[in-house]
Structure 1
Amino acid sequence: MKIKLERLLIQTKKTREIIEFSELITYVYGPVGKGKSTLARLIDFCLGGHLENTPAIQQEFISAILHVRLGNYKCTLERSATDGSSVRITWFESEKVNGSVNAPLQAQAEPIIPNSELYTLSDIIYFLCGIEPIKVRQRSRDADSPLIRLSFRDLWRYCYLEQMHLDSSFFRFEDPFRGRKSQDAMRFFTGLHSERLSQLETDLMKAIDDQRAKRGAVKQIREFMSQFSLGSESEIIDQLQETETQLSDAKLRKTELHKKRSIDIHPTDFLREKILLLGEQIYQLKIAIDDSIEIVNEQRMLHSELITAKIKNERLVQAGMLFDDVKFESCPACGAKIQATEHSDCCSLCGKTASEHVLEAQIDNDSLRKDLNIRIDELADSIKRREMEISKTKKQLDKLIGDKAHLDTQLQEDLSNYDSAIVEEIRYVDKIIATLEERIASLKKLQSMPQAINKLEEDAGALQGTIDILRTELENERKRLSEADAIVKKIADEFKRLMLSVKFPGVYVDDQVVIDPRSWKPEVLHGETAWSFWDTGSGGKKTLFNVCYALAIHSIASKRNLPVPSILIIDSPTKNISEDENPELVKSLYKEIYQLALDSYGSLQFILIDSDYVAPTIELPDFKLRHLAGTEEAPSLISYYDGP
């Protein structure tokens, strides 16, 4: 997966810092607190990661632009401090092949680019790199969970070894969610993806079951037709034509009987009309009662509101009496000083005499009180009259319902007593018509049965081709998985070689290193003893364990052209390892890193971050050194910043 970092532009409040990256190794070193780890975090931030809000980032950071080559495309990834859910990505290959979108980190309902399958930044990175990612279960423990693309962030965990987690977790395998994502990434790298094998096996079994079911159905249908002498397709057509003729004669006979019956008046017709009229009256009365009840409820609500308004008015009058003697020295609206009036009985605000105020207030309150009393009495009277009308209407409705029930009973008795010969004959003809119509429907279904049998046989034969294709794909997939096992074995062997080369404490030539494809946790077998990352003990050994494993993966990926992103950022590879106490170990580790970089020149890019500089002992064609010391000769990442 070809990814090459070219430069990083960091826009701060005062400066624009530029970091150029080597195609082979960019080595950043310096004392604590000068921005070394922040540099790696900003690269991760532009690729959709989370940025730690250090004091320098909070106070000075504005935005970052990462120039990177993805596959054959020159790209820029832009993200500001306030962009929490998206990254602006722009790509260019030629005048006709280019684009720029604001790519969300989480999938939205609509694709970023119309008529495409690109929904996130991860999808665009895969697309530009020309990689088809595998699909994994959204919830791995749920068999019915939908399949989604493996995120680029799951692969990136093997390319960016953070200082924070370098000695405390092994690619988050202890995290139930992120650990499974890391396992999916390793399956993708090595080609050992069991979901495809499972899907092919499921499809094959489904096709075989479908073919078996179709052939079984054909056999059962033919046995059924033979058992009941249903005959061939031509015989069924003759039976159908004969039955249709009989049905036509029966319908004609029914029409003649109805014409004969229409001459006489049915004795129950008058009773039916009367019942229908009563039903309409009952319906109208029910509507009238419902409307009246609704009006009464509204009037009661209004009656309560008027009483409440009257009480509130009385409270206002009492409040006014309490404030009669209040003297204003300042305007309550603007606070300006009020000039004293010549007459002591005049209001200081409006200029009217106190008697005028009192008179007007009394007139207004008296009028309002009278209006409210009148309206309350009117509503009470209206409610009383409407309730009396509702009660009267309900009595009328009960009477009509009783009359209708009596007439219904009488109608049922009259209908049961009315049983003329003509009615009996009509019923008999209706029974014959129903029988003939059912027989025609059955014959039409049987008519299509021979055609359906032939279609089932054709479908069963076509499924044989699908079954053969699935069996071939399944065999190829099993063969590919056996090749993936060889890749896993090579990673384990390379891991052992690296640990021996850097003189990893407790690892010997006779030891074996195994990687279980189910858990992807490498273990060292020393005789009958097995130990892994969690058994190393010291923080320095944990760091060294992680770094060697990442180097092993990228080494084999470079040699076997595996879809691992072609970049490795290691923040503090000697974390918890003292160069004074373990000088040979530190030199051996860097020697392996430099040798791997040289062997994979053009296919793997390194960004190394450490507190001290370990010079290469071999000649490297492209080696960039960046010293972040907070001095004029070696400024910090944010050159002018000098803070916590």
Structure 2
Amino acid sequence: MARLIDYCLGGRFTEYTSALQQEFVSASLHLTIGTIPLELRRDRDSDRVVATWLSDGQEKALALPARRAAGEVLPGTGVEVLSDLIFYLAGLPIARVRRSKVNDQSPLERLSFRDLWNFCYLDQDDMDSNFFDLDGEAEFKKRLKARDVLRYILGYHQEHISELEARLDDVRQGRNVLEASSEALRQALLEVGVTSVADLQKQMEVLDEAISRYKAEIERVRAQTFPAGPHEADRLREQARELFSEIGELEREIDEVRIVQKRDEHHLNDLKGLSFKFKRDRSARAVLGSVEFSHCPRCTQPLPPRDADQCTVCGQAEAREAPPATEEVVEADLKLRVNELSEMVEKHRAALRRLEGDLRLAQQEKVFVDQQINDAVRTYDSQYLSQHLDLERQLAAAERQRLDIERLGRLPKVIEDNAQKVGILTADEKALREALKEARALAEKDTRNLKKLRELFLDCLLRSKLSGFQEDDVVTFQAPDFFPRVASAEADGIAFNSFSNLLSGGKKTLFKCCFAVALHRLATAVNAPLPKILLLDSPMKNISERENKPQFEGFHDLIYDLAIGELKDTQFIFVDKEYKLPPEGFDESDFYLRHMTPDQLDAPPLIPYYRGK
């Protein structure tokens, strides 16, 4: 039943029991979030959950992914998965944490309900094998998520910090989009030979002069009865020869730039290799310089005596080591030269892109001129008609080119506007990063909740009568580890108990349960967003109610005391082989016992008719 509850809340079945293999179709879970009743139904082997709840007196139903987000499913709420819906119904913002804890540039990811549920559902399989994924053997990603949950509950990840992180992420994404679009526009302009607004203006002025000249020439030709001059085909052939020469020159320039680029890249790689060898040799000299050889490292025979200024191995005069200042100068010079060569290689690449763009334009123009030559030869008209058509074509080409450039003229302005916006966003990003840094520092300086958790954890250990712990013990878990250690005051902190060195499986189980109870007590005290439910599957695992009676009764008494006191609003679910009756005065309406016995009407099993294994 515990696993079915977990399954409805997005858990996975690693292996079905024989009964579930034959009979399981779907599972439904009824729960209350705040004051909102919610029903979750999940079919067998389905990755989706059907949620039904009441909102403003109306029933709403929604099918959504159990774990993996695939876009917003509840418009205008940001709800994408079951975890988001639970946060939404609870009136809480969808918690997000940074994926990397050392890189402020890393993206945000959800702190999901499943991450919080890890401290509410202590399943039997992992009860004494891992400590909430906080121990060193846990998967790295899970360990970081477990730490995030504790930081969230302790108040290190406050709502103000979440808002700052979300705003910082939005500003950073906006800046990246603007920079990427500006760079794409800049590369596109570079390929057509435009580097600035002044270049565009100059090209437009040249085209305006050409258009005026063509128009005047057309009027002059029209005014002449017998116009004289070269035929259109002759002019086009001359233009084709010029384009052919230009293409050849561009190809030679591209080959030369590629040769220089390869040479500089080769030189750059040599320098990087030299820098690596220099650091490696220096490290080797530092290591071997302090070694005193008494025997030959090759043949292992004893070495003859040497003078003080001679090498003990080869007998040559000791080489004088270069002073550290010289090595620093060499390393700085190498770094400077590497930077210079990297900059030169990047300039070569930019030049190649520009030349290749010019080559493509020249080749396209050559194809266009060749087509015009073919047309002119095919339609060899009178001298007047030929000259007139030639001028008309040149005028149309110039006007078309001017229109294209006029359209391009808006792009440099867009780049400049984007640069101004990037500057504003960069300043906003810096300010948000500083504010976030200060907010995190202030949150982590407040250790009151951490101190409270230490006290509550030790109190749970003592009240559960777990052997080996004393009132003067000291609990420590400093951020970012959060892995608890209970040190003995008598041993001055040298000897300590932790989940890792508790050899008894029963003690590990109770140790882990006590930490979960302490965390729920803290969450209740500070009103932290931790689900008010604690599901313990076999808390008395490896603990006998007869041979370990003090621990058995102590833990039950602890839970009963908390259930009517600090954690009266928390629902406890025990799945175990034995239990201790609640004390006198305990409200019977708050206590529900459910046995599962075949052929017993008042305590039927989960599948009453099933009689298999």
Instruction: Tell me the TM-score range normalised by the shorter chain.
Output: 0.5 to 0.7
Q: Is the 8 A contact 1:72 1:93 kept in 2?
A: no
Corresponding position of 2:117: 156
Q: Is the 8 A contact 1:515 1:521 kept in 2?
A: yes
1:353-392 equivalence runs, <5 A: none
Corresponding position of 1:69: 32
**Displacement, 1:465?**
8.7
Q: Is the 8 A contact 1:63 1:78 kept in 2?
A: yes
Query: Within 2, Cα distance between the matches of 1:564 and 1:463?
Result: 36
Structure 1 counterpart SS, 2:92? coil
* Aligned: 1:185 with 2:149: yes
Q: Is the 8 A contact 2:171 2:428 kept in 1?
A: no
Structure 1 counterpart SS, 2:591? strand
**Which one of 70, 76, 83 corresponds to residue 122 of structure 1?**
83
Query: Within 2, Cα distance between the matches of 1:147 and 1:163?
Result: 32
Residues 67 and 480 of structure 1: CA distance in aligned 2, closer, same or farther (over 3 Å): same
Query: Within 1, Cα distance between the matches of 2:207 and 2:532?
Result: 78
Q: Is the 8 A contact 1:200 1:470 kept in 2?
A: no
Query: Within 1, Cα distance between the matches of 2:236 and 2:431?
Result: 73
Task: Specify the structure having the higher radius of gyration (Cα).
Answer: 1
Q: Is the 8 A contact 1:489 1:514 kept in 2?
A: no
Q: Is the 8 A contact 2:486 2:497 kept in 1?
A: yes
Corresponding position of 2:127: 166
**Displacement, 1:125?**
1.3
Give the residue type in structure 1 aligned to 2:550.
E
Corresponding position of 2:612: 643
Q: Is the 8 A contact 1:197 1:477 kept in 2?
A: no
Corresponding position of 1:586: 552
Structure 2 counterpart SS, 1:192? coil
**Displacement, 1:566?**
0.7
Residues 203 and 57 of structure 1: CA distance in aligned 2, closer, same or farther (over 3 Å): closer
Corresponding position of 1:497: 459
Residues 91 and 83 of structure 1: CA distance in aligned 2, closer, same or farther (over 3 Å): farther
Structure 2 counterpart SS, 1:599? coil
Give the residue type in structure 2 aligned to 1:188.
Y
More strand by share: 1
1:265-287: per-residue Cα shift (whole Å, max 9, x none)?
Answer: 526858989xx9xxxxxxxxxxx
1:171-570 equivalence runs, <5 A: 171-173=132-134, 174-193=138-157, 263-266=227-230, 269=233, 475-483=438-446, 485-526=447-488, 527-570=493-536
Corresponding position of 2:576: 610
Structure 2 counterpart SS, 1:563? coil
**Which one of 21, 37, 43 corresponds to residue 58 of structure 1?**
21
Query: Within 1, Cα distance between the matches of 2:439 and 2:235?
Result: 84
Structure 2 counterpart SS, 1:540? helix
1:135-154: per-residue Cα shift (whole Å, max 9, x none)?
Answer: 13568799766423222111
**Displacement, 1:180?**
2.5
**Displacement, 1:47?**
1.4
Corresponding position of 1:43: 5
* Aligned: 1:632 with 2:600: yes
* Aligned: 1:575 with 2:538: no
1:477-523: per-residue Cα shift (whole Å, max 9, x none)?
Answer: 5433433x322221122111211222323222332112232132112
Corresponding position of 2:60: 99
Residues 207 and 268 of structure 1: CA distance in aligned 2, closer, same or farther (over 3 Å): closer
Give the residue type in structure 1 aligned to 2:11.
G
Query: Within 2, Cα distance between the matches of 1:456 and 1:41?
Result: 55
Q: Is the 8 A contact 1:627 1:634 kept in 2?
A: no
Query: Within 1, Cα distance between the matches of 2:103 and 2:112?
Result: 19
**Displacement, 1:577?**
1.3
Query: Within 1, Cα distance between the matches of 2:171 and 2:24?
Result: 56
Give the residue type in structure 1 aligned to 2:34.
G
Query: Within 1, Cα distance between the matches of 2:218 and 2:591?
Result: 104
Query: Within 2, Cα distance between the matches of 1:272 and 1:486?
Result: 87
1:206-235: per-residue Cα shift (whole Å, max 9, x none)?
Answer: 999xxxxxxxxxxxxxxxxxxxxxxxxxxx
Q: Is the 8 A contact 2:521 2:567 kept in 1?
A: no
Per mean C-alpha deviation after superposition, the further-off stretch among 509-518 and 248-257 is 248-257
Q: Is the 8 A contact 2:171 2:425 kept in 1?
A: no
Structure 1 counterpart SS, 2:564? helix
Residues 204 and 271 of structure 1: CA distance in aligned 2, closer, same or farther (over 3 Å): closer
Query: Within 1, Cα distance between the matches of 2:584 and 2:10?
Result: 35
**Displacement, 1:57?**
1.8
Structure 2 counterpart SS, 1:535? coil
Give the residue type in structure 1 aligned to 2:6.
D
Residues 196 and 61 of structure 1: CA distance in aligned 2, closer, same or farther (over 3 Å): same
What TM-score does the superposition give when structure 2 sets the normalisation length?
0.56
**Displacement, 1:545?**
1.0
Query: Within 2, Cα distance between the matches of 1:463 and 1:142?
Result: 17
Q: Is the 8 A contact 1:571 1:608 kept in 2?
A: yes
Per mean C-alpha deviation after superposition, the further-off stretch among 546-555 and 608-617 is 608-617
Residues 141 and 636 of structure 1: CA distance in aligned 2, closer, same or farther (over 3 Å): farther
Unaligned runs of 5+ in 1: 1-38, 209-241, 277-404, 412-422, 424-429
**Displacement, 1:162?**
0.6
Query: Within 1, Cα distance between the matches of 2:149 and 2:34?
Result: 19
**Displacement, 1:202?**
8.8
**Displacement, 1:186?**
1.8
Q: Is the 8 A contact 1:77 1:90 kept in 2?
A: yes
**Displacement, 1:203?**
9.3
- The RMSD of aligned alpha carbons is 5.0
| Sequence identity percentage | 30
Query: Within 2, Cα distance between the matches of 1:83 and 1:205?
Result: 39
Per mean C-alpha deviation after superposition, the further-off stretch among 56-65 and 468-477 is 468-477
Corresponding position of 2:338: none
Per mean C-alpha deviation after superposition, the further-off stretch among 599-608 and 139-148 is 139-148
* Aligned: 1:135 with 2:74: no
Give the residue type in structure 1 aligned to 2:576.
D
What TM-score does the superposition give when structure 1 sets the normalisation length?
0.54
**Displacement, 1:205?**
11
Structure 1 counterpart SS, 2:593? strand
Residues 197 and 463 of structure 1: CA distance in aligned 2, closer, same or farther (over 3 Å): closer
Residues 463 and 87 of structure 1: CA distance in aligned 2, closer, same or farther (over 3 Å): closer
Structure 2 counterpart SS, 1:641? coil
**Which one has more relative contact order, counting CA pairs under 8 Å at least 6 apart?**
1
Residues 110 and 634 of structure 1: CA distance in aligned 2, closer, same or farther (over 3 Å): same
Corresponding position of 1:595: 561
Residues 532 and 195 of structure 1: CA distance in aligned 2, closer, same or farther (over 3 Å): farther
1:342-389: per-residue Cα shift (whole Å, max 9, x none)?
Answer: xxxxxxxxxxxxxxxxxxxxxxxxxxxxxxxxxxxxxxxxxxxxxxxx
Query: Within 1, Cα distance between the matches of 2:163 and 2:495?
Result: 35
Q: Is the 8 A contact 1:48 1:121 kept in 2?
A: yes
Query: Within 1, Cα distance between the matches of 2:547 and 2:226?
Result: 119
